[in-house]
Amino acid sequence: MNSRQMVLATFIHNSGAHPGGWRYGADADQHDVDHYVRLAKTAERGKLHCYFSGDQQGLPMIKGRDAYAATDYAGKLEPTTLLAALAMVTSDIGLIGTVSTTYNEPYAVARRMASLDHITKGRAGWNVVTSAGNSEARNFGHDRLMDHDLRYERAEEFVDVVKALWDSWEDDAVLRDKASARYFDPARLRQLNHKGRFFNVAGPLNVGRPPQGHPVIVQAGGSGPGRALSARTADLVFTAQSSKDKAVAFYDDMKARAAAFGRNPAHMAVLPSVQLLVRSTEAEARAAQEELLHLIPDALAWATLQMQIGFDLSDYGPDDKMPDIPLTNGGQWVQQELVRMARAEDLTLGQLAKRATVSRASFSMAGTPEQVADMMEDWFRAGAADGFSLSPNYLPGGLEDFVDQVVPILQKRGLFRTEYQGDTLRDNLGIPRPAHAQMGHEPDLWA
């Protein structure tokens, strides 16, 4: 079938996206690779386009010792090593990992992602983020977080340098010609000699051009600078949108921004994240939703709200309304979505805290498989989404329920494929392989 179909990803968040998820689901050990192997195989069984592993470079800050102890945030596996392992137990699904531009060097990230693209044989993706926590800053020699806009300026240059490093080898640079004693063709390697505001990088990379040319670029920034970075560089845009109308507005804005950069908007897929809970009946779905909510300690909800709005609520109580707060230097999009939600729905801080803890400003729904499929079809046809990033509430059950109960309905409706259609993640997404950018100088290493 040739009509447009959904792109589906799954965002694997520790033991589940719902803060009550780890107490609800199976006894998942976040330090055991087998937990993730099971999830990746399940996602591949469902023919999902990609498995997405998030990351931070430190512990997220949540005030209150008991609140913290109730979360599954403190420890888990690092994405690039985890995804390389998952490459060996899967064969088709894309493997996307978060690597920050804030405390890393572009040469190091370019080679790890290039290596991952070779190991996955063309299934790697890089989620480009900036690190937004003071606790992360303090693990890397800084007293506090870098300024928000400065972080994004650094990210822009970082992505450009990484892409140039991936292009520092032409596709056919490796010869392995034993007779002529030429392992590679030196004329097909290039130096960048990049000298920028943040980075000076000579190159060439010491890994050959990735199978996909460039691993798939993923971005999720919702602020102005974040949207600009996405529109210019991202192949996949992940976003948290609390309603279909807001998602349509975001979708239109992003497609227009991509076009303004001279890009084909169809080559950038916009995927709102959805937290889904699937049960055979509405009543069962509502009951499961209530049980999950019940499993979140109040202290954790309150601490999470403070973290997400970047504001100390010690002077307020759960029955108060949202005060006026200054723009955070952290994740501005999430902050503003929560403020907007509190005002629009006239929520108390206590109500908002539970909402913030559950959904992080993304769309959350509990229902039957048909209801969930209806919602997805509605958003998809309304121009709110090219597909979705599923954040299962609890793992592994939440993902298994989706794959076994919702995917078949989407397939029957012709909204989702029944088989992987290409060899690489780009093939499967229908996003073209970037041509090699001719650039730079022959390396002076052999001058």
| Annotation: binding site | 55, 98, 148, 152, 223
121 or 343: CB nearest a copy of itself? 121
Using CB under 8 A as the binding criterion, the count of chain residues that bind a copy of itself stands at 82
Residue whose pair of structure tokens reads 């845009």 in the numeric block:
237
Burial class (CB in 10 A: 0-12, 13-18, 19+), 184: middle
Q: Does residue number 197 form part of the binding site for a copy of itself (CB under 8 A)?
A: no
Give the C-alpha distances (Å, rounded to integers) separating 370 from 44, 346, 359: 22, 31, 22
Report which DSSP code applies to 445. Answer: G
Query: For residues 77-136, which are near a copy of itself according to CB under 8 A?
Result: 77-78, 80-82, 84-85, 87-89, 103-105, 107-108, 111-112, 114-116, 118-119, 121, 135
Of 223 and 357, which has the nearer Cβ to a copy of itself? 357
Tokens at 380, concatenated: 């998809």
Piece of the chain touching a copy of itself by CB under 8 A; list 66-74, 265-273, 308-316, 399-407? 66-74
Q: Which of residues 134-163 bind a copy of itself (CB under 8 A)?
A: 135, 138-142
Q: Which of residues 251-310 bind a copy of itself (CB under 8 A)?
A: 295, 297
* Segment interacting with a copy of itself, rule: CB under 8 A, options 3-11, 200-208, 267-275, 282-290: 200-208
**409, 414, 420, 421 alpha-carbon torsion, rounded to 10°:** 180
Tell me which of 16, 54, 208, 215 binds a copy of itself, using CB under 8 A.
208
32 binds a copy of itself (CB under 8 A): yes
Q: Does 311 bind a copy of itself (CB under 8 A)?
A: no
Residue with smaller CB distance to a copy of itself, 82 or 407: 82
- Binding to a copy of itself in span 39-58, by CB under 8 A: 56-58
Q: How many other CB atoms are there within 10 angstroms of residue 324's CB atom?
A: 6
Which alpha helices (H) appear in 315-433, and where do they start and end?
332-344, 349-359, 369-381, 397-401, 407-412, 425-429
Q: Compute the distance between CA of residue 201 and CA of residue 191 in angstroms, rounded to an integer.
A: 9
Question: What is the biggest distance separating any 2 CA atoms in the chain, rounded to whole angstroms?
Answer: 80
Nearer to a copy of itself, 63 or 286 (CB): 63
- Give the number of other CB atoms < 10 A from CB of residue 343: 11
Tokens 């029955």 sit on residue:
319
Least distance between a copy of itself and beta carbon 66 (Å): 8
CA–CA dist 161, 367 (Å, integer) = 45
241 — phi, psi (to 5°)? Answer: -130, 130
Q: Which of 8, 93, 155, 189 touches a copy of itself by CB under 8 A?
A: 189
Bind-site residues for FMN: 55, 98, 148, 152, 223
Q: Which of 46, 54, 203, 392 binds a copy of itself (CB under 8 A)?
A: 203
